[in-house]
Amino acid sequence: MTVYLLRKLLGTIPTIFGVALIVFLLFHVVGGDPTYQMLGKYATAEQVAELRHQLGFDQPLHRQFVGFLREIVTFDFGESYATKQKVSRMILDGIVPSLSLTLPAFFLTTLIAVVIGLLVAYFRGRWIDRVTVLLCVLGMSVPVLAYILFGQYFLAYRLQLFPIAGYDPEWPERLVYLALPILISVMVSVGFSVRFYRTALIEETSQDYVRTARAKGLSEPRIYLKHVLKNSLVPIVTNVVMDLPLLVLGAFLLEKFFGIPGLGGITINAVHDSDFQVIKAMTIFQSFLFILGNVLTDVAYTLVDPRVSFDGR
């Protein structure tokens, strides 16, 4: 496994390099010049030139790109152009609020979706299955914004079941503030997940071993919980583990409407402000997380399916 992991890690270098190159070129083609924003509305030509020099914007592109690569290696992206805050601190500050929202929402969604998936697979073709699928499609069709506006107006403002918005770093107040966005996140994504798991589970129920189990007289709950669920773990794990690292990046719309100081909002603000330092850091961070997701998925395969091994046998 160690050799495999090392090989995988080495394989990330060209990927990160490619991502870095694309981000760098995009910024220089369409990203705009942040110097005017940094200097304010009274900037003079002389100040603009001085600041561009300070930031190294007057250097040849290849030299600027080498500087960018150095930042990636050291993961020191300096200060935000827009806020003067340390970029690493901004990211660290944003991770916990983002995860506080996305992690419970993700696990709840997965749990609910697997349970419902099992149920509808069991009742496949019957009215429960059909109604569930219909509800899933309906749930998927409603935009997240509609859930947010409805949730804030009806559940929070009218019924006063939740705070309208806000965030508190202390526990358990934090959960009180996060309950509604988590609920909305589950509502938005559970439909898609149920359909995904339903398909995986139904595919498994058509396998020969299920027929054999039934012939041996095993009860249906035992067949589903002990055999079908276990053998469906590969797609489930793939789905879960691939998404897991990306949860760090937060949920932009939910963060924005509920005032959660997570990474989603930080990233969008950085794009709006042409805050290249933050954009660079977040893009590279996201790439790392994506690669991490891939590696973890491979590892998880071997844990849930003994037929999969790293040596290719």
Site for another protein in 195-234 (CB under 8 A): 230, 233
39's tokens = 């200097």
Does residue 56 contact residue 67 with C-beta atoms inside 8 Å? Answer: yes
Packing angle, helices 276-304 and 2-30, rounded to 10: 150
x/- letters, 114..153, toward another protein (CB under 8 A): ----------------------------------xx--xx
What is d(CA 121, CA 237) in angstroms, rounded to the nearest whole number?
18
State which of positions 9-68 bind another protein (CB under 8 A).
30-34, 36-45, 47-48, 50-51, 54
82's tokens = 């827009």
Does residue 88 contact residue 263 with C-beta atoms inside 8 Å? Answer: no
Cis status of the peptide bond prior to 235, with omega within 30 of 0: no
Provide, rounded to whole angstroms, the least separation between the CB of residue 309 and another protein: 11
Provide, rounded to whole angstroms, the least separation between the CB of residue 308 and another protein: 10
Provide, rounded to whole angstroms, the least separation between the CB of residue 17 and another protein: 26
What is d(CA 26, CA 276) in angstroms, rounded to the nearest whole number?
11
Name which position in 10, 62, 74, 84 contacts another protein (CB under 8 A): 84
Q: Is 82 helix (H, G, I), strand (E, B) or coil?
A: coil
Provide, rounded to whole angstroms, the least separation between the CB of residue 30 and another protein: 7
Name which position in 69, 95, 96, 103 contacts another protein (CB under 8 A): 103
Provide, rounded to whole angstroms, the least separation between the CB of residue 96 and another protein: 11
x/- letters, 259..298, toward another protein (CB under 8 A): xxx---xx--x-xxxx------------------------
CA dihedral 161, 250, 55, 29 (to 10 degrees): -110
What is d(CA 301, CA 242) in angstroms, rounded to the nearest whole number?
11
State which of positions 161-190 bind another protein (CB under 8 A).
164-170, 172-173, 175-176, 178-179, 182
**Residue 39 or residue 140: which is nearer to another protein going by CB?**
39
